[in-house]
Amino acid sequence: MIGSSDRRVAQSSGRVAFFAALADGSRGPSAGGPSAGSPVALDLCTGSGAVACALADRRADLVVWAVEREPAAAAWARANVARLGLGGRVTVMDGDLFAPLAGQGLAGRCDVVAANPPYLAESTLATLPAEVGEWEPRAALDGGPDGTQVVARILDGAPDWLRPGGTLVVEIGEDQGAWVRARIAGDPRYETGIVHRDFRGCERSLEARRV
């Protein structure tokens, strides 16, 4: 969490740094402020807004739309955006994944879609360490029966929002690498798919490029 001790919406600095680095790979120069042709990033399941704020801080010309379905977390995200003076470039919306973005003129225009969705299998939630299970809301952890329910929806929906050559980056469960590779390989809307490992050596995030 940026600027708060509320650990329910805490995010690791390593994760934030990884997502923020994507902004350097989006189109256009990073000098100056946003304009009508500015690069656009979506941050789904934004939680406290850490990734959205990091993306905007990384590039002064980047416009970020952040989405969060939990009202309390969305309120923290808005507070963080305001605290960091990013209100002119980061918009936080309440809702489920891409749904609240309809009608905003963003379809097919986004350079980056980033997401840190719930990806744990329902059956594993009872075995989580206390520092996770007692502080994180269930909605931030529960990815359905096999953990892929929300991730699958993001993989299916992202191409409608990405521009050609735009990049999707999604955090995944450490046992989901083979599954996401197969999904990307079988979807002609994606050109490439790379699974990155975390600091422990576990497969942790998917980077996929739109055709």
Mean pLDDT of 65-90: 97
Mean predicted lDDT score pLDDT of the chain: 87
Contact 187, 155 (CB under 8 A): yes
Q: What CATH number should be reported for the domain whose range is 7-210?
A: 3.40.50.150
Mean pLDDT of 4-27: 50
What per-residue confidence (pLDDT) applies to 36?
A: 63
Question: What is the C-alpha separation between 3 and 174, in angstroms, rounded?
Answer: 29
What are 152's two structure tokens?
Answer: 């699958």
Mean pLDDT of 7-23: 50
Sign of CA dihedral 195, 198, 204, 209: negative
Question: What is the C-alpha separation between 174 and 9, in angstroms, rounded?
Answer: 21
Q: Which of 117, 96, 112, 93 is nearest to 104 (CA)?
A: 93
Element (H, E) at 155: helix 149-157
* Residue 21 reports pLDDT greater than 60: no
Model pTM greater than 0.75? yes
pLDDT band at 135 (very low <50, low <70, confident <90, very high): confident
